[in-house]
Amino acid sequence: MISNSDIAKLRRDYKLKSLDESSVSQNPFEQFSLWLEDAIKTRILDPNAMILATSNKKNVPSVRTVLLKEIETDGLVFFTNYKSHKAKDLIENKIASSVFLWKELERQIRITGIVKKISKEQSENYFRTRPYESKIGAWASMQSSEIPNRKFLEDKFEYYKNKFLNTEVPLPPFWGGYKLFPIYFEFWQGRQNRLHDRIIYEKNKKLWKIKRLAP
- Summarize pLDDT for 32-60 with one digit per residue, the tens: 999 999 999 999 999 999 999 999 999 99
| C-alpha span between 202 and 200 (Å, rounded) | 6
State how far the alpha carbon of 87 is from the alpha carbons of 6, 63, 128, 154, 161, in Å: 39, 12, 22, 24, 26
| C-alpha span between 199 and 214 (Å, rounded) | 9
Residue 14 pLDDT more than 70?
Answer: no
- Looking at 17-26, 72-81, 179-188, which range is the least confident one? 17-26
| C-alpha span between 111 and 200 (Å, rounded) | 10
Q: What is the mean pLDDT of the chain?
A: 94
| C-alpha span between 171 and 149 (Å, rounded) | 26
| C-alpha span between 99 and 185 (Å, rounded) | 10
Confidence grade of residue 9 (pLDDT, cut at 50, 70, 90): confident
11-129+173-213 placed in CATH 1.10.490.10: no
pTM value is 0.91
| C-alpha span between 135 and 155 (Å, rounded) | 15
pLDDT tens digits, one per residue of 156-211: 999 999 999 989 999 999 999 999 999 999 999 999 999 999 999 999 888 999 99
Q: Which of 150, 194, 198, 212 is catalytic?
A: 194
Contact indicator for 104, 37 with CB cutoff of 8 Å: no
Does residue 198 carry a catalytic annotation?
Answer: no
pLDDT, position 2: 74
